[in-house]
Amino acid sequence: MDRCVKLAGELDRREVPLSLLVAPRLCASGPVVDWVDKRRQAGDALVLHGFDHCAEPRMRTVALGRRAEFAALPAHEAGLRLTAALRALEHIGWHTACFAPPRWLASRGTLTALRRKGFALCADITGVRELSTGTAHRGRVHGFGDGVRSEPWWCYAMVLGAGRAARRGGLVRIAADASDLTREGPRQALLDAIDLALHHGARPATYPDLLSGTRAAAA
């Protein structure tokens, strides 16, 4: 929590809002709820990030690289997990129409279930989909990989990729897990990537800002 608070303060000074990806089964503790409520009041956005990140809810064998909660679910089973997640959010007093699947992987069944549940947006690994209109905002996620040995490479790739996308006028999506913020290298790379994107003219926005009918938002 202390690292998250510090990062939020750094972004406030840059006038960059956060899109807070929340899995209700994992982060429904008092301090987290209080902090997220405070950030929402300050202008940050709430995005449902799965339910409990169970690698394979159906307890079946899946291909390597697809071990994510919503990566391979059919519509019915995805709908059940979304229902549980929405009920958990309601219990906390939260509501959101935006969804980002764990590991950014969403099956076709998940997209169908999201539409049935009234979600307006799904942010996956390649871009952001408006579920009601079919509009797709292309832009891959710039984030960190696994493993300490590859950390310098991932940090370099994040900064370089964010700068390149912003320079071309594209959508810039920079993501970090709270655990990434415990290490100085990723934490500094995250801020460097944001600063470079801003330098190239990117305008800060949250995921809901990309929806048609809301305020215009560029990278």
At 66-95, the pLDDT tens digits run 578 999 999 999 999 999 999 999 999 999
Tokens describing residue 95: 């509501």
pTM, two decimals, is: 0.89
Can you tell me whether residue 122 is helix, strand or coil?
strand
Cα separation of 86 and 24, whole Å?
A: 9
Please name every residue paired with 45 in a beta bridge, in sequence order, or none if there are none: 19
Domain locations in the chain? 2-210
pLDDT interval class at 27 (50, 70, 90): confident
CB 18 within 8 A of CB 39: yes
Can you tell me whether residue 128 is helix, strand or coil?
strand
Name the fold adopted by 2-210: TIM Barrel (3.20.20)
Pairing relationship of beta strands 127-130 and 45-48 according to DSSP bridges: unpaired
Residue 99 reports pLDDT greater than 60: yes
pLDDT digits (tens, 9 = 90+) for 7-25: 999 999 999 999 999 998 7
